[in-house]
Amino acid sequence: MAITAGEAGKVVRWRRWAFDNLGTVLANFGSLWFVLAPLLAAYAPRRLFLTYFNLFLRRRARRLLAVVDPYVTVDISEPGTSVHYSRFGRVTEHDGTYEEVKAYLAGACSEEARELRAEGAAEGDSVVISMRDGQDVSDEFQGVTVWWTSVVQENSQGQQASHTRSCQRLTFHHRHRRLVLHEYLPHVRRKGREILFSNRRRRLYTNNKSVDSYRYDYKAWSYINFDHPTTFDTLALDMAKKRDIMDDLDAFRNNKDFYRRAGKPWKRGYLLYGPPGTGKSTMIAAMANYLDYDIYDVELTVVNNNNDLRRLLIETTSKSIIVIEDIDCSLDLTGDRAARQQKHHQDRDRRDDKRDSSMVTLSGLLNFIDGLWSACGGERIVVFTTNHLDKLDTALIRRGRMDMHIEMSYCGLEAFRTLAKNYLDIDEHRLFVSVDEILAKDNITPADVAECLMTAKRAGSDESSCLEILIDELKQRAEVNAKAEAEAEAEAKAKAEAEVKPAIEGEGAGAGGSEGGRGGP
């Protein structure tokens, strides 16, 4: 009798179900197994029989083991030698979990373990304490005790000492499997990351020339250790403004979840504008010190094109401040774009080499700030500085791109008090009134005041003499500044007139020329 496709399907399904569940069935009817086993051995295919027999034994063994030894272990191994070569050089890949766990345990083990190992930290002069192999420490999390052991694993590649890897082994009761895997381990990583972050030396990065990017050892960024002494305490600025900025930075730093909920990339833009010497660069250093972030100082003139700019962005780390200083000078991003285009052609021959080599455009820069790529990594601050706010394209600085516009202005009494404290260690003095009069009358920058204070400090013997010298210096500085301002104004006026004159003459000559043309042969 022929079997229909439907019947064949049923048989196949039934057989598959039977084979799939054979182990369970046998496990549940343990004693039956001994009756069925010889039959199965005789009739079932040999491989299938062995597989299910194996499974059965393993299940039994596991159950037995769980009664005898209810502990589970998780190994977190030292990063391997997974190395690949990219155009940016030799890159060793690892996810950092081992370092995070080691950093976390450094706190616990230095108190409990008796045999420790000290290694120099990757950065700085400190040492990293870890457990010697075979040492145990315990840790408590939500009332549950877990144990960590430092062990050495043999690599599968060989038996030699060079093929061993250290590993941190976590042991816990299988009852707490969920808690440990889903809460405790993420907690260990988070804490470890915080410890690593606070132990590291902060860095000041600057981008390398894009034209060298063909070199095999090319790195997009070079860095030095960042060790600027400025803080918000020493920054000369109105107290209210300072508080505002610090609150804003705190809100940014502490609101990761809010940014995620609101669907906003975790980044913030600050535009610092004001005359030279009003403390824009100093403010950036204070921000970095306040947040404990690295600084990436982007020199746009050595970036070839928008693509290279994007690459720079990708290679920045989170918890960093990306700075573009004097944005109006770095690129021709100012004023009316059509006029700029025309000017670009006219000035092509006159432009200097630096500017010539950069093809970064306004749209490239806008994408850099808040394009899709800008969201990668998160927790980043972008700061632009400029002396001429009016010269910047409005698209570049609109709210949302540059979230906070901060004006850095000339020195007032409140800012002066900070500087007097910094340089002379004076909080209050009767001569502050005279200083205030000068500052109110003339445009004197904090940089000017700081320089005068240095002179006064060198020449004066006590507070009063220092302040008297300072007042003289400030008066002279005010005169020099006023003269320079008047000269600059006259020069600008003369330049404007010189530009207007040929244009009028050109129009006249053009009109005459066309008339002449009409009258010509």
Tokens standing for residue 350:
């006159």
CA distances from 50 to 23, 37, 42 (A): 11, 11, 12
Which of positions 391-420 make contact with ligand ATP (CB under 6 A)? 408
Q: In a 10 Å sphere around its CB, with 0-12 CB exposed, 13-18 middle and 19+ buried, how is residue 19 labelled?
A: middle
Nearer to ligand ATP (CB atom), residue 355 or residue 421: 421
Q: Print the SS3 string covering 12-33.
A: HHHHHHHHHCHHHHHHHCHHHH
Question: In the bound complex, what is the minimum distance in angstroms from residue 255's beta carbon to ligand ATP?
Answer: 27
Which of positions 366-395 make contact with ligand ATP (CB under 6 A)? 387
Tokens standing for residue 243:
């508080």
Does position 450 interact with ligand ATP (CB under 6 A)? The reply is yes
Does position 279 interact with ligand ATP (CB under 6 A)? The reply is yes
Nearer to Mg ion (CB atom), residue 280 or residue 417: 280
Element (H, E) at 323: strand 320-324
Does position 386 interact with Mg ion (CB under 5 A)? The reply is no
Interface pick for ligand ATP out of 189, 280, 310, 311 (rule CB under 6 A): 280
Question: In the bound complex, what is the minimum distance in angstroms from residue 447's beta carbon to Mg ion?
Answer: 10
> What's the rounded Cα separation, in Å, for the pair 277 and 19?
82
Does position 334 interact with Mg ion (CB under 5 A)? The reply is no
Interface pick for ligand ATP out of 135, 168, 208, 282 (rule CB under 6 A): 282
Question: In the bound complex, what is the minimum distance in angstroms from residue 404's beta carbon to Mg ion?
Answer: 18
Does position 150 interact with Mg ion (CB under 5 A)? The reply is no
Query: Could you give the residue ranges of the DSSP H alpha helices within 21-93?
Result: 22-28, 30-43, 46-68
Nearer to Mg ion (CB atom), residue 280 or residue 477: 280
Nearer to ligand ATP (CB atom), residue 57 or residue 454: 454
Residue with tokens 């995620």: 260
Nearer to ligand ATP (CB atom), residue 235 or residue 466: 235
Interface pick for ligand ATP out of 188, 220, 235, 402 (rule CB under 6 A): 235
Nearer to ligand ATP (CB atom), residue 292 or residue 407: 407
Question: In the bound complex, what is the minimum distance in angstroms from residue 410's beta carbon to Mg ion?
Answer: 15
Does position 281 interact with Mg ion (CB under 5 A)? The reply is yes
Tokens standing for residue 2:
């022929």
192 binds, among ligand ATP, Mg ion, none (CB under 5 to 8 A by kind): none
374 within 8 A of 267, measured Cβ to Cβ: yes
Nearer to ligand ATP (CB atom), residue 185 or residue 287: 287
Q: Tell me how far apart the 2 most distant CA atoms of the chain are, in Å.
A: 123
Nearer to ligand ATP (CB atom), residue 246 or residue 447: 447
Does position 245 interact with ligand ATP (CB under 6 A)? The reply is no
Nearer to Mg ion (CB atom), residue 364 or residue 446: 446
Interface pick for ligand ATP out of 26, 76, 167, 236 (rule CB under 6 A): 236
Does position 282 interact with Mg ion (CB under 5 A)? The reply is no
Closest CA to 472 of 497, 503, 435, 441: 435
> What's the rounded Cα separation, in Å, for the pair 480 and 478?
5
Angle of CA points 322, 324, 327, to nearest 5°: 155
Question: In the bound complex, what is the minimum distance in angstroms from residue 418's beta carbon to ligand ATP?
Answer: 7
Interface pick for ligand ATP out of 101, 146, 237, 309 (rule CB under 6 A): 237
DSSP letters of 348-401?
TTTS-HHHHH----HHHHHHHHHSGGGGSS--EEEEEEES-GGGB-HHHHSTTT
Q: How many CB atoms lie within 10 A of CB 473?
A: 20
Question: In the bound complex, what is the minimum distance in angstroms from residue 414's beta carbon to ligand ATP?
Answer: 11
Closest CA to 406 of 385, 379, 388, 381: 385
Closest CA to 297 of 215, 370, 224: 224
* Residues binding ligand ATP (CB under 6 A): 235-237, 276-282, 387, 408, 446-447, 450
Q: Which residues bind Mg ion (CB under 5 A)?
A: 280-281
